């Protein structure tokens, strides 16, 4: 059932009108921005929660930082415009 759900989500994401050829060709740039800019800022925000002893915020922000890293690395290493079932399952698990 999970395989059918992720295949359905992947199929719908391929059909969305905002994923034009120009956006698909820029997936490596988006991946680089996520890994180089978004992930470090989110990780610093998570580490700020440690001295504040805010465990729920640390958990939430840390999971978000990890998800940005995973999405960014997938965009960097994947073929532009392609979808992966693994990333879809990961996104469902993080949500």
Buried b (16+ CB within 10 A) or exposed e, 20-42: eeeeeeebeebbeebbeebbeeb
Biggest CA-to-CA distance, the chain: 46
Q: How many structural domains comprise the chain?
A: 1
The domain in which residue 21 lies consists of: 2-94
Please tell me which residue, 21 or 37, carries the higher pLDDT value. Answer: 37
pLDDT tens figures, 29-56: 888 888 999 999 999 999 999 998 989 9
pLDDT at 15: 52
Residues 6+ apart with CB under 8 A from 83: 10, 13, 14
pLDDT at 19: 47
Query: pTM for the whole thing?
Result: 0.69
State the average pLDDT for the chain. 80
pLDDT at 12: 54
């Amino acid at each position: 059932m999970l395989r059918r759900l992720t295949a359905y989500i992947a199929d719908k994401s391929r059909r969305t009108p905002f994923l034009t050829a120009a956006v698909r060709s820029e997936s490596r740039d988006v991946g680089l921005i996520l890994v180089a800019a978004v992930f470090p800022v989110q990780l610093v925000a998570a580490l700020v929660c440690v001295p504040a002893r805010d465990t729920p915020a640390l958990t939430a922000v840390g999971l978000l930082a990890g998800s940005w890293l995973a999405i960014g690395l997938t965009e960097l290493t994947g073929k532009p415009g392609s979808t992966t079932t693994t990333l879809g399952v990961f996104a469902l698990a993080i949500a």
